[in-house]
Structure 1
Amino acid sequence: MSSFVHRPVRRRENTILDAYFVKSCVALFLFSLLVEPARSDPGVGGDTGDAVDPAALSLTFAEEFDTLEVSEWGPGTRWIAHTPWSGDFGGARFSAPMEGFPFTIEQGVLRIEASRDKADKWRSGLLASVDPKGNGFAQQYGYFEMRARLPTGPGVWPAFWLIGLDRSKATAEVDVLEYYGDKPGGYSSAAHVWHRDAPPDSKGKRINVFKDADPTAYHTYGVKIDPMFIRMYFDGRMVWKTETQPQHRQPMYVLLNLALVDEETRNMAADPSYMFVDHVRAYSID
Structure 2
Amino acid sequence: MVRPISRAIFILTALLAARPASAQEGAELDLAGYRQTFAEEFDSLDVSARGPGTRWIAHTPWNGDFGDAAFTDPRPGFPFTTKDGILTIEMRKGSDGKWRSGLIAATDPQGRGFAQRFGYFEMRAKFPAGEGVWPAFWLVGVDRTTHTSEIDIVEHYGHFPGRYTASVHVWDRKDKSRHRTVHKRVPVPEGSLSAGFHTYGALVDAEFIRFYFDRREVARVPTPPEHNQPMYPLVDLGLGAGWPTERTPNPSTMEVDYVRVWAKDGG
**Equivalent in 152, 156, 175 of residue 175 of structure 1:** 152
Would you say 1:222 and 2:201 are equivalent positions?
A: yes
Q: Is the deviation greater in 172-181 or in 215-224?
A: 215-224
**Equivalent in 19, 28, 36 of residue 59 of structure 1:** 36
**Equivalent in 228, 242, 250 of residue 229 of structure 2:** 250
In structure 2, the CA distance between the partners of 1:272 and 1:216, relative to structure 1 (3 Å rule), is: same
Q: What is the RMSD of the two structures over their aligned residues, measured on CA atoms?
A: 1.5
Aligned 1:24-103 pairs, distance under 5 A: 52-54=29-31, 56-103=33-80
- Aligned amino acid, residue 53 of structure 2: G
Q: Deviations over 1:85-119 (max 9, x none)?
A: 01111000001000000000010000000001232
Counterpart-to-counterpart distance in 1, 2:221 and 2:133 = 27
- Aligned amino acid, residue 147 of structure 2: A
Match of 2:119 in 1: 142
Tell me if structure 1 keeps the 8 A contact 2:129–2:191.
no
**Equivalent in 101, 105, 109 of residue 86 of structure 2:** 109
Tell me if structure 1 keeps the 8 A contact 2:135–2:155.
yes
Would you say 1:209 and 2:188 are equivalent positions?
A: yes
Counterpart-to-counterpart distance in 2, 1:214 and 1:169 = 36
SS of the equivalent of 1:215 reads helix
Q: Deviations over 1:139-178 (max 9, x none)?
A: 0000000000001110100000000000101110000000
**Equivalent in 217, 223, 229 of residue 238 of structure 1:** 217
Counterpart-to-counterpart distance in 2, 1:246 and 1:263 = 30
**Equivalent in 184, 206, 230 of residue 161 of structure 2:** 184
Q: Deviations over 1:246-271 (max 9, x none)?
A: 00110001100001015572221100
Bigger-Rg structure (1/2): 1
**Equivalent in 142, 161, 184 of residue 165 of structure 1:** 142
Q: Which has the higher contact order (CA 8 A, sep 6+)?
A: 2
5+ residue gaps, structure 2, are 1-26
Counterpart-to-counterpart distance in 1, 2:188 and 2:49 = 35
Would you say 1:260 and 2:266 are equivalent positions?
A: no
Q: Is the deviation greater in 255-264 or in 121-130?
A: 255-264
- Aligned amino acid, residue 89 of structure 2: I
Counterpart-to-counterpart distance in 1, 2:194 and 2:187 = 11
Cα deviation, residue 211, structure 1 = 3.9
The sequence identity of aligned pairs, in percent, is 51
Tell me if structure 1 keeps the 8 A contact 2:126–2:254.
yes
TM-score, normalisation: structure 1? 0.80
5+ residue gaps, structure 1, are 1-49
